[in-house]
Amino acid sequence: MPHQHGPTRSTRPRRARAHGRRQWAWIAAAGLVVAAVVTTVVVVGPSGGHRDAAGPDGTAGPSASTDRPVVGRKSAADAFPGGLARQPEAVNQPGIRERRARAEGREDTADRIAAIADQPIATWLTDTSRSATRETVRTVVRAAERADATPVFVLYNVPDRDCGNYSRGGTEADAYLPWVRSAAESMSGSGAVVLVEPDSVAQIGKCDRLRDTRLPLLRKAVDALSGHGLTVYLDGGNENRVPVDTMADRLRRAGVDRVQGFFTNVSNFYRVDQERAYADRLADAIGGDPHFVVDVSRNGRGWRGTWCNPEGAGLGQAPHVAGGTTRLDALLWVKTPGLSDGSCNGGPPAGRWWEAYALALVEHRARD
């Protein structure tokens, strides 16, 4: 506290000196009170200070305190060191089809499929077998290490996956966390990016039986993924699915404060500018400056009226790490182009290769 200069002690009466001491003591006490208030504001401020209100689906509420700890987010370059790794041949499904087409003498078809196979694509982990999952992870990690690039994995094995719809499946309830821990341990030290369970958060409002169990389970999955040097993103839905405040509340409940951020548009078709605007609003509502990634694998023609094998869809721009000047970390190919969304619009079961659709995506691709 700055000193207040006044008369010297030799010229000031004793009574005046006593009064001055009392005055300084009062000022010092007031200063301590002000400092305490300022300290409180500094601690609370960065967390975002959101007061959670009930959302339209009833899942919101007082889920997070205003002084919740928030992890420091990495830069885009630190989240994806070396850029995006390409999948090894053993797990690159479009590449397998490309080689098969060449072996059959269908060179033109193979060349078009190569437009998909040659891009960095996320590797989805869907096998309930822990040993099979570990082997897939090791295969992808070894290839990424040789290329000095970052592998991207998608965990897609949550119990009651897709709420019994086209992509139904997942582990048994008591097997999920051991499966996540096993996958995390096999990725440990790789610097991998992990996208946790597409649809798992956005779908809650349409599936009543998930309301009480899904978010606590995802929070435990975040715990299991922590401490392994991984960069983790949670499901942020997309722009036309869940109100921003509701989604922000769900993500805080799921543990977004302890990970890099969230992903949007996975297996969907919205354009980048729309998704970035939505993601920025969602990040603001969450607080703490979470980052995000956007799936651009099939959004080259934008929204086509349905999420399930829409006609006229095209490949999006080439996946790449962002420049790091915003909260957008990367534009990714999360969904593997050419795999069906489900038995809709003439498609095979979800996750099956559909060559005619893959070729149409190439034909209608975005031109960078």
Give, for all 368 residues of the chain, the pLDDT tens digit: 333 333 333 333 333 333 443 343 333 444 433 333 333 333 333 333 332 333 434 344 444 444 578 999 999 999 999 999 999 999 999 999 999 999 999 999 999 999 999 999 999 999 999 999 999 999 999 999 999 999 999 999 999 999 989 999 999 999 999 999 999 999 999 999 999 999 999 999 999 999 999 999 999 999 999 999 999 999 999 998 999 999 999 999 999 999 999 999 999 999 999 999 999 999 999 999 999 999 999 999 999 999 999 999 999 999 999 999 999 999 999 999 999 999 999 999 999 999 999 999 999 998 76
pLDDT at position 69, please?
A: 86
- 194 strand-pairing partners: 153, 232
Residues 106 and 152 both lie in one domain: yes
**348 and 213, same structural domain?**
yes
Cβ(247)–Cβ(9) below 8 Å: no
CATH number (domain holding residue 211): 3.20.20.40
Q: How far apart are CA 309 and CA 338, in angstroms?
A: 10
**Could you give the strand order of the β-sheet that contains 328-332, starting from the edge strand earlier in sequence?**
123-125, 152-155, 193-196, 231-235, 261-264, 291-295, 328-332, 320-321
Q: 211 and 344 in one domain?
A: yes
Nearest by Cα to 202 from 276, 121, 266: 266
* Same-domain status, 86 and 31: no
What are 354-360's contacts with CB under 8 Å, separation 24+? 354/309, 355/97, 355/109, 355/113, 357/309, 358/94, 358/97, 358/112, 358/113, 358/116, 359/109, 359/112, 359/113, 360/311, 360/312, 360/313, 360/314
Model pLDDT, residue 367: 79
Pinpoint the alpha helices (H) of 13-75. 14-44
Q: Which helix (H) or strand (E) holds 263?
A: strand 261-264
Question: Residue 356 CA to chain centroid, in angstroms?
Answer: 31
Q: Is residue 26 part of a domain?
A: yes
Inside any domain, residue 237: yes
* Residue 217 burial (CB count, 10 A): 19
Residues 43 and 80 in one domain: no
Which two structure tokens, joined as six digits, stand for 291? 């980052």
Eight-state DSSP code of residue 74: P
Distance between CA atoms of residues 65 and 87, nearest Å: 41
Q: Please give the single-letter amino acid code of residue 173.
A: A
On whether both 145 and 222 belong to a single domain, the answer is yes
* pTM score: 0.83
Residue 314 has what DSSP assignment? B
Positions annotated as catalytic residues are 162, 199, 341
Number of domains in the chain: 2
Both 122 and 83 in one domain: the answer is yes
Domain that holds residue 41: 9-47
